[in-house]
A and B are shown apart, each in its own frame.
Chain A
Amino acid sequence: MFRYRDEGLAQRIIERLKGLKLDLRLMHVCGTHQDTLVKFGLGPLLQAAGIEVRAGPGCPVCVTTAREIEEAMLLARMGKVVATFGDMFRVPGENQSLADVKAEGFDVRMVYSITDCVALAEKTARDVVFFSIGFETTAPTPASVILHTPPENFSILSAHRLIPPAMEALIQMGELRIDGFINPGHVSAIIGANAYEFISTRYQIPQVIAGFEPLDLLVAVYMLAIQACKGEAKVENEYARVVKPEGNEKAKRIMESVFEPFDLGWRGFPVITGSGLRLKEEFAAYDARKRYEDELSELSTEYQEPEGCKCGEILRGLVYPEDCPLFGTVCTPQHPVGPCMVSMEGCCNILFKYGKSRIGI
């Protein structure tokens, strides 16, 4: 529809970056950004210009904990119809995945949208649970469904998470120097550019919201480089064709009227303050955790990560998939060991798919 792949312009940006003679480490928190980086080979180009771009916890499927997956599996084994997005289907909990539970004969469905799941609930008398994952981009969608009174046999198992608290957690953990953030375009479409201000103010870190075309990313990197040169730390918006300073106010209102933030652990992270979304008390009837509280309370709270899998460190930007001895040998998209190899937004899956030697660089 529009021309976002102008090679001449891309080349000029790279040349200009080289001229700045920088040594910067940037982080993005978006699986789609990772896909663009690797698919178009931007990593090596940027690295040659002194800029390393690392992936953070930008894959919602990957940061979903084993405990949450075990909850969904238990509900399916109890005879509920459990539906979720395709990416979640094969992610292992402690040992097995929802795909394994389906193979045992239980009813697990893959859907494209939560609206498909509601349609399913309307057609059956059985209890239908939507295993609802995703960041701010996705969270307004179940919220809207719940506000429109879905059938009584419908409920959601929320594993929704918020991005800005995770960015702050990464900085506070201090494991990795981060000179700037490339902020996720579609999370930002909902929450708006202003939602990130506190990070730049508190931690003096430049941020630029970026779209998903290769030029979007290169321009965002360039904008971050200019901020670094000038010693600035502010939030800029490269993706202004979609993202507004205040975001999508209607979607935010809907999301906030149904969900409330709470402290939640992420795969690879400790509990992050205010980073999860759960249904407000008034919607308890649609909350699978409330409806099936007794059954779910039997689950363990402690789960081991798959042996040898480095997804946790990958999600914190500390290592690359190729640093994992299982990558491409024991762990492949056909036989994934960890979530980063299952999800289309996982770093291991993306690297495997495009066959480049390193993620993001």
Chain B
Amino acid sequence: MCLGIPAKVVEINHEGRKGKADFGGVSREVDLSLVDVKVGDYVIIHAGFAIELLDEEEAKESLALWQELLERCSDTGTRD
């Protein structure tokens, strides 16, 4: 139900309310009324609506951040 799929906004119309998003090669109509987006943005689509933007930079950096998290926490001891 709360499943959300990343897609790229490829078209915006109806005063920004509707548009088309590309799901890895397949383009579908989506409702954009819950977000402020521009063509080229990545969004999370849930039940036909874009519910939030996907921050591309943040996404690309996740793996690096995770590595860093592991390094940073490597000295943490056990509970006692």
Q: Which residues of A contact B (CB under 8 A)?
A: 1-4, 6, 9, 12-13, 16, 19-22, 30-32, 58-61, 85, 87, 112-116, 133-135, 137-138, 140-141, 144, 148, 184-187, 189-190, 215, 219, 222-223, 226, 228-230, 240-244, 248, 250-251, 254, 343-345
Give every chain B residue within 8 A of A4 (Cβ-Cβ): 62-63
Residues of A within 8 A of B3 (CB): 32, 186
Output the least CB separation between B70 and chain A (Å). 6
Chain A residue numbers with a CB within 8 Å of B52 are: 189-190, 242-244, 248, 251
Contact B6–A1 (Cβ < 8 Å): yes
Bound-state CA distance A1–B21 (Å) is 15
Are B35 and A250 neighbours in the complex by a CB distance under 8 Å? yes
Q: By the criterion of a CB under 8 Å from any partner CB, how many residues of chain B are at the interface?
A: 37
29 examples of A-B residue contacts, CB within 8 angstroms: A1-B24, A3-B63, A9-B67, A16-B70, A20-B79, A32-B2, A32-B3, A59-B1, A60-B1, A60-B2, A85-B1, A112-B47, A115-B48, A134-B47, A144-B34, A148-B17, A186-B3, A187-B2, A189-B44, A222-B70, A229-B77, A230-B76, A241-B55, A248-B35, A250-B35, A250-B36, A251-B52, A343-B1, A345-B1
Q: Are A31 and B63 in contact (CB under 8 A)?
A: no
Contact B1 A134 (CB under 8 A): yes
Select one of B17, B35, B46, B70 contacting A138, CB under 8 A. B46
When chains A and B are docked, how far (Å) is the Cα of A251 from the Cα of B66? 29
User: Are A134 and B70 in touch, CB under 8 angstroms?
Assistant: no
Q: Is the CB of B34 within 8 A of A138?
A: no
B73 near A: Cβ within 8 Å?
yes
Within 41-80 of B, Cβ neighbours of A (below 8 Å) are at 44, 46-49, 51-55, 58-60, 62-63, 66-67, 69-70, 73-74, 76-79
